[in-house]
A and B are shown apart, each in its own frame.
Chain A
Amino acid sequence: MTFPWPVAWALRAFAGLVLVILYGPLAVAVVLSFFDQTGTSVDWSSFGLQWYAKLFANRGIGEALVNTFIVGAGTVVTSVVLGTVFALYFQYGGSPWRGLHRAIIVTPFLLPPIVTGLSLLIFFREVGVPRSLLTVVIGHTLLVLALVYRTILQRLQSLSPQLIEASYDLGATRAYTFRRVLLPHLASAAVAAGVLAFALSFDETLITLLVTGSDNTLPLRLWAMVRTGFTPDMNALITLILAATAALSVAVISLVRPQP
């Protein structure tokens, strides 16, 4: 659809304004990460990487980052494996209960994270599971599973059933068909879903706050830092994370885009 030019320009102007609001605070942080400041007065002569140096000296962050990667990896593996198995069950299990199964899996994604987090917190306490990074992985997996499952199921449903029949017809067993036809078909969707799962897990805060033990992930560490007061190395961190996020989202979007 093409809009008449005054409308098109009005839309562009408005979208530009929205972008300024979305990115403005981040941009300020990025600029300030290279300077010293006292209060709101910036010492423009102090340009340098001093805050980055300070950031890397901060051991707490390094540790939190490692934890975040552990949790992220755990979440990716469990959610992709479970998502694939559940999607296969939905598509080929022939169970009359598959709709209910899907509804249950999607629930944690629809509920506010506080509800998912609280119910897990109570459950772990009642069952006697100590809170740890493992419980965090469980929480994150439940949250991202809905998306991973949907992504994989959609890909699975785009597979022509004739291809599977063709495979059987050519003498391939179920296992062989799974390996040679289904898996290659699912691979890129599984990778995209995995990247998405990692990105969501990386930044998950609300559920993590509720189900973690003494281990901090990066968002929790940041939360603690922010609460104890402003330090300029936070700006450096914002800059780094923004850069990483941008790179990651470009990767995600080009993965999710259908291949020509």
Chain B
Amino acid sequence: MQTVKHRWKDRLQRVLITTLVWTPPIGLIVLPLAGFLAYSFFALDNGEIVHRFTFGNYIRFFSDAVFVPQFLRTCLLAAGVGVITLLAAYPVALLLWSLEGRAKHLMLVLFVIPLLMSYILKIFSIRAILGGRGYLNTLLMAAGVITEPTPFLLFNLTAVFLTLSIILFPFTLLPLFVTLERIPKALIQASSDLGGAGWLTFRRVVLPLSWPGGVIGASFTFVLALGDFVTPQMVGGPTGLTFGRIVYSQFGLAYNWPFGSALAVILMAAVLAVLALAARIGRSQGGPP
């Protein structure tokens, strides 16, 4: 008798917990993503969203001469940001890794602080440096390197590239550093014992064990660069148009949510492909999970 009652109570409890635990992720993650996916197949009629299935948005994306090149250019830009931050992050991560105790802790904090610093203000201060009448131009002119302000520095894709690289640098650095930290010290010692010179140890042990972490960091940076729309808007000017900005404009001025959703779905597909690739590399090489 008692056990039967017990079982019943147990089952009720299970149902309650299951409901409680699954409602937020399904209600606030799965459903919105599904809705967003559905929206990309809707259409706009006289400024009203029509809930009818159509491939129109995707057809428009692939047939219009603007979107595909713009998309590819933005992918290239984001990939460039990923690569340049990775190249810059490696020496820094190696330095952090080789430090000990307080020095390591302090340097780590120094490289993490910019990550927590206000995003808008970071962009803003970079813009103040890069601008046509900005400090970098003034400095270069004062030094006699250039005679008049170069427009090369602000309101174009180069500026977007530079700004994103500076802002997203810590995202590449941290996973790389964490992976380096996880290399067992014994492995390095073993390699040295076996007569592996410094360079050999680096090439044969450190590099193969750490690069998956670098790839994962760089792919995070890629994802963030690809989807950003605030940075390009602030430093990109009219020629610094990126795909993220185009998507965002569909939800603002252009007011075409279904088309904007379709563009974002394409963005998401690119992101998922890159993340899956990075995860594969990470797993096959024993990088961070």
The reply, when asked whether chain A contacts chain B directly with Cβ atoms under 8 A, is yes
- Residue of A12, A40, A199, A223 near B135 (CB, 8 A) is A40
Min CB distance A9 to B, Å, is 10
| Contacting pair A238 B25 (CB below 8 A) | no
Min CB distance B142 to A, Å, is 10
| Contacting pair B267 A115 (CB below 8 A) | yes
Closest chain A residue, CB of each to CB of B206: A1
Which residues does chain B contribute within 8 Å of A114, judged by CB atoms?
227-229, 244, 247-248, 264, 267
Interface membership of A60, Cβ < 8 A: no
- Residue of A40, A85, A105, A119 near B20 (CB, 8 A) is A85
Interface size of B as a range: 35 or more
Closest chain B residue, CB of each to CB of A250: B109
| Contacting pair A93 B21 (CB below 8 A) | yes
Contact segment of A161-169, A181-189, A202-210: A202-210
Which residues does chain B contribute within 8 Å of A22, judged by CB atoms?
111, 114, 166, 169
| Contacting pair B110 A19 (CB below 8 A) | yes
Min CB distance A216 to B, Å, is 12
| Contacting pair A86 B21 (CB below 8 A) | yes
Closest chain B residue, CB of each to CB of A242: B117
Which residues does chain B contribute within 8 Å of A39, judged by CB atoms?
133
Interface membership of A21, Cβ < 8 A: yes
Interface size of A as a range: 35 or more
| Contacting pair A104 B116 (CB below 8 A) | no
- Residue of A4, A85, A238 near B124 (CB, 8 A) is A238
Task: Map CB proximity to A onto B139-174 as digits: 1 under 8 Å, 0 otherwise.
Answer: 000000000000000000000000000100100000
Q: Which of B18, B24, B133 has the most CB of A within 10 A?
A: B24
| Contacting pair B230 A222 (CB below 8 A) | no
| Contacting pair A14 B91 (CB below 8 A) | yes
Having A112-B226, A113-B224, A122-B39, one finds 4 other A-B pairs with CB under 8 Å, namely: A22-B166, A26-B122, A29-B125, A86-B25
Q: List 11 A-B contacts (CB under 8 A).
A: A11-B91, A11-B92, A26-B117, A29-B124, A40-B133, A111-B268, A119-B36, A122-B35, A122-B39, A205-B230, A238-B124
